[in-house]
Amino acid sequence: MKTYLDCYPCLMRQALSAARRAGASDNQQHSILLKTMEELSAFPTGSNPAQLAYRIHQQVQQLTNNLDPYRDDKDQATQQALALYPELKKKVSQAADPLDMAVRIAIAGNIIDLGVADSYDLEATLARVLTQAFAINDLASLRNALAQSMSVLYLADNAGETVFDRVLIETLDIPVNYVVKAGPIINDATREDAVAAGIEPVANIIDNGSNAPGTLLDQCSELFRKRFAQADLILAKGQANYESLSNSSAPIFFLLQAKCNVIARDLGVAEGGTILKQQVVD
């Protein structure tokens, strides 16, 4: 997905939010905004938003000398999600269609995103996503793909959301490689966050060799790129994975909430929509 002009003010807001979480002084915050504007002005048009977000959040890490400004937020999100885990499992076990319910749960967890907004209401989102109609619903195709695949390459998004992913993974009948970031960026899940969410017993945790948001293949390790190329089924969680892979020809299903109007417009849905979208390959 291309970067829309609306992404510019949003990335400025993100830079400021990240700077504050990193404990930056007022002067540092100002410097970071100036640097962010330099980056936004110089970045090649045609870049995707995940590439821009990567550069801007990296800059905050470097200028504040804080490599993980979202550490506390990530831990809290995981704890909050773990507290909901028994209830989520019960919903799946009682559902007429456990896969439908588990997919909805995994998408509901995508609200735990501190890039798009500075806060979220997890329980209200859960109630909404479990009941509202999908804006894009390729569940039948996903069910079919799952039946025909040997394994799933599951591209994780945020810490805490990992617990919701675990519920979906536990519902699947085939093995899962669960892909996290190789280092901290925004509140994206790393190995540590996946382990804390209890993913280890239910999936093989691997990292993609990069700490960019989404999946910027040119930033990933050769090993990961090979796995990506060989995967017969990829589940990609969240906006940044959509932003970075929407032009890919890989066998991807995108699971996300359309949390901002830019993504919603790109997908042709209303803001707040629940998306299970199969990648259209020409």
Contact residues for a copy of itself, defined by CB under 8 A:
5-6, 8-10, 12-13, 16, 26, 29-30, 33-34, 37-38, 40-41, 45
Least distance CB 34 / a copy of itself (angstroms): 6
Nearer residue to a copy of itself within complex by CB, 186 or 194: 186
Least distance CB 76 / a copy of itself (angstroms): 22
Nearer residue to a copy of itself within complex by CB, 8 or 85: 8
Torsion sign over Cα 207, 208, 210, 212: negative
Nearer residue to a copy of itself within complex by CB, 6 or 232: 6
Nearer residue to a copy of itself within complex by CB, 16 or 245: 16
Side-chain-side CA neighbours of residue 83 (13 Å): 7
Q: How far, in Å, CA of 57 to CA of 14, rounded?
A: 8
Alpha-helix runs per DSSP H in the chain: 7-21, 26-42, 49-64, 71-94, 98-108, 122-131, 139-148, 161-171, 191-196, 222-230, 238-245, 261-267
Least distance CB 29 / a copy of itself (angstroms): 5
Nearer residue to a copy of itself within complex by CB, 32 or 236: 32
20 by Cβ neighbours in 10 Å (0-12 / 13-18 / 19+) ranks as middle
118: its two tokens: 């500075």
Q: How far, in Å, CA of 53 to CA of 37, rounded?
A: 12
Nearer residue to a copy of itself within complex by CB, 94 or 119: 119
Q: How far, in Å, CA of 69 to CA of 213, rounded?
A: 15
Torsion sign over Cα 219, 225, 227, 231: positive
Least distance CB 246 / a copy of itself (angstroms): 19
Alpha-helix runs per DSSP H in 25-94: 26-42, 49-64, 71-94
Least distance CB 91 / a copy of itself (angstroms): 34
Least distance CB 49 / a copy of itself (angstroms): 14
